[in-house]
Every structure is written in C-alpha cells, then in structure tokens.
Structure 1
Amino acid sequence: MRLPRSAYTARSWRAHEVAGDFAVEDVWALPTPGGRDDFGVLVEQMAGGDTAYRDGLVARFLFAVRWKLGALLRLDRDGDGVGTRVMSLRDRLPADLREGPQGPGFATLPFTSVFQTEDEWLAEMANRTVHGALHLGWVPDGTGVHRAQMTVLVKPNGPLGAAYMLGIKPFRYVGVYPALLRSIGEEWEARESRESRGPGAGKRGVA
C-alpha cells in the first residue's frame, strides 16, 4: 500500500540527518508484520535476495530494459557511482552512526548500505542520472505488532536525471512496485511458515 510522504517526513528518522536534501519519491507499507526484534531479518531479506526479479513478468522485463538502456546510454559507468560522481552518504554520518553497524551487503542490486539501527536502515546507489537512497523503517502499530515502511529518496542529476525520473515513473507504478511488494510479502510469509514448523518455534509477529 502506498503511504503519504508524511509517513516518512513526520517521523524522527536518523536518515533525515544525512539525506535531508533528497526528495521523497515514494513511501510504501510493506506486507511484513513482525515483532519488535524482527527488523534485522527483514533487512537481510531485502539485501540478500533477488526479490525484485523473482515475481512478475512485467517487472523482470522492465528491469532488463533498464539495464540494457543503462548500457546503451552509459548510465551506470564506474565513474558515475557513489564515491566518484557523488560523495557517499556515509561521509555525512554523525559519529554514533558511523561507529555502529553499516548493514549488509547486497547480493544482486547495485546498492550499498549506509547505516543500520534497531528500527532503521538506509542504503544508497548512484549513476549518471540520480543519487538514490532506499530507507526502511520499523514502525510499531500500537498492538504489539510492527510494520515496515519503505521510502525511496532521490536527488536527480540535473535535467537528465529529472527527465529520467519522470520517464520511468509510470513503469514503476504499473510493473515494478506491485511485483516487488508481492514478492517481499510472499518471501516473508514463507519464512514465517518455515519457522512455525521448526522445533519449539512459535508464531512470530508479537513483541
């Protein structure tokens, strides 16, 4: 489910301290209810798998087109990434976040973790068109259950970046996001099912 931008901006996330000049592109509620201590499991799931690719022919097609277009237009050159064209957000971190956990590495997607806390994770990527960040937050709903919200933050690189973001917007909503959210939810449910069948495992989702 898509959330208003205030679902991110109104909360006191640490990410505001390091990515306050990024625009909020989208905020989504993820279908991953869990307990207070389950956030790290979700972060590992998001970073470690091929979630974006496993479900949805439209999404897989759009990702394939994106990589082909990137190669043709040289959007993903090494010199246009984090630490070259743009400074890493890790260089902006206050001391306590810099000394804390950075977060996991990504298995397939071109992101790098910036920082991770018990309820917040920020990762970044950059190419010729945009410096982007993915924020994941773990929010209590008042009933003992926590929910995840995913925020996409962007800083387009001039007119080319602005045109690129505008051009891909309808494709993201039609093909990418629905398949992505469905895959995340299915993988989360499958994990809970495996754990509930394990020795001594109880139902997760209550703090």
Structure 2
Amino acid sequence: MKKQTAFKRWADFVKDEKTTINRAPSSFRFIARFRLASKFDGVKADGYGEKTLRGYDALLKVFLAYTAFESLIEAIDENRAIGNKHLAVDFSIDKHNHSFDDFSISRKIWNNEKLLQILIDYADVSQRTSVQMEALMSFYLGVIDGKHLHAVARQIRHLVAHGNLTAYGAESIRKENTDALGELAKLILDETYNLFEQYVSKIEAQAAISTK
C-alpha cells in the first residue's frame, strides 16, 4: 500500500467532521508556498542575459524554499495562538537557528567566495552587526555547520525580499554556485517537509487520544 503524504494526511484531518477545523489560514498559506517552491522552474524576462537569469533563478529557489520554512513556523505558531485544540500541539522550530545540515553543500557554497562576498556586501547597514551576519561571517571564515548554512539561506531570503540584490549581483553568481544553491533549496524543502510530517503526526496522535 502506497504511503500517504503528509499533505494528504493533513487534508484528511482538516476535513474530518470530528475535528471541525474552521480557522487555519496560515496552514493553507504554507501549503501553497511549499507547492510553489517545489514546482518553481525559473523566470523569463526580456532584456536579461542568460547568466543574470540563471543567478536570479538560483536565488529565487532558495528564497521560495526558505519562505516555505518560515510559513510552516508561522502556521504552527498561529494554530497554537488561536487555541484550536485540534491543531495546537507542543511542537516548536527555532526560526533563526534551525540547522540545515549537509557538509557537502556547505563546502560547495563556502568554496565560492564570490557568492559569500555578494551576500555580505549587499546586506543592509542595519544588518551588519546582527547575529545572522555574525554567523554568515563565521561561515565565510571557515566555520562550517548547519546553523551557518541557515544563515546563508536567511541572507538570500532577505536580499531577494527587500530588493537589495541587483542584476549585476545575480550575474556574478557562476554556474557552479547556482548548482550549489539549487541543492540548498532542495535541502531546505526536504527538511521543511520532514518538520511538517512530524507536526501532522503530532496532531493526529493528539486527536486520537482526545476522541477515545
């Protein structure tokens, strides 16, 4: 028998008459963002060169994957805040320090000094003394672990969301860099799915106990 996905299990759970879930907007926003991130296949724009678009594609993949991760955290927090007994479970994720552990990907990104330099150079002045920037600088200096890879992803999300990255910056990201960023995006999506699956298992277990 084929194993149900966490998304199918979630859909079945919220449709179940016993749970009567009426409010879960952030949860549905997370699912929509995750789907977009997993299906994203690049951008098309007249007047831009291949290298520039390739750079934007790679950065947008990480941006979408990371915002899916953020959306999951927001959904879990919202469900707890509104007090829906069927969705509020003891399950927390560290938004700023959750590890995305993959030494191979970390090494590939660390070896691309130009990419890290872009992430540092394009940061807002207000960010240059932040904890995230300290983690990014540590990574740049050779301290490689999951938290620092998280800092790379978070900085990419910040640059894309706030428009700090120019076409020149995107064009500076070489082919090998874009491949590594694609792997990073997949790593984040895979970890986000695993976290969502754990969350669904918890709400299913809680519902099973409450209906006994």
Instruction: Please classify the TM superposition score into its range, dividing by the shorter chain length.
Output: 0.3 to 0.5
How high is the TM-score relative to the length of structure 2? 0.36
More strand by share: 1
TM-score (norm 1): 0.37
Task: Point out the structure with the larger helix share.
Answer: 2
Rg comparison, structure with higher value: 2
